[in-house]
Amino acid sequence: MSRAPMKLILTQEVGGLGAPGDVVDVAPGYGRNYLIPRGFAMPWTRGAEKQIDLIKRARSAREIRGLEDAQAIANQLSGLRVRMRRRAGASGRLFGSVGSADIVAAVREAGGPELDRRRIEVRDPIKTIGSHQVRVRLHAEVSAPVDIEISAS
């Protein structure tokens, strides 16, 4: 059994590991059992090395254009009032939970910018009505808090 690190090319952002297009060395089990099956990475080969440019170009097209843009979007998010209505029980507990895709849709409905759901950080799952705060990583140096008010429908 080989314990040598496995060389992979990331196809999506993986927290604590890297961004799309990065070449990383990981434990063989982590790469083989988690990253590759979920589509987060692909095995590194000389042929795949050529695809890194394509991955990085696609990333730069999606990525916020720079620090100034990230700060402008952070200012836009800070003045935003995001409200959501969800079905809840008598105790105020939601039927289900609010996920990052729900938050992206609510921000868009409130007149906010288009966000990538993978950039939303929710500390604890949102399962109750009331006020909640999530963070949006806009840039390596900029993250913005978003206040969400969830009411029962």
pTM of the model: 0.61
- Topology classification of domain 6-62: Ribosomal Protein L9; domain 1 (3.40.5)
Domain ranges of the chain: 6-62, 67-152
Per-residue pLDDT of the chain (153 residues; tens, 9 = 90+): 567 899 999 888 888 888 888 899 999 999 999 999 999 999 988 888 777 877 777 766 555 567 778 888 888 888 788 999 999 998 989 998 898 889 999 998 988 888 888 888 888 889 999 999 999 888 777 888 999 999 988
CB–CB of 22/9 below 8 Å?
yes
- Domain 67-152 CATH class label: alpha beta
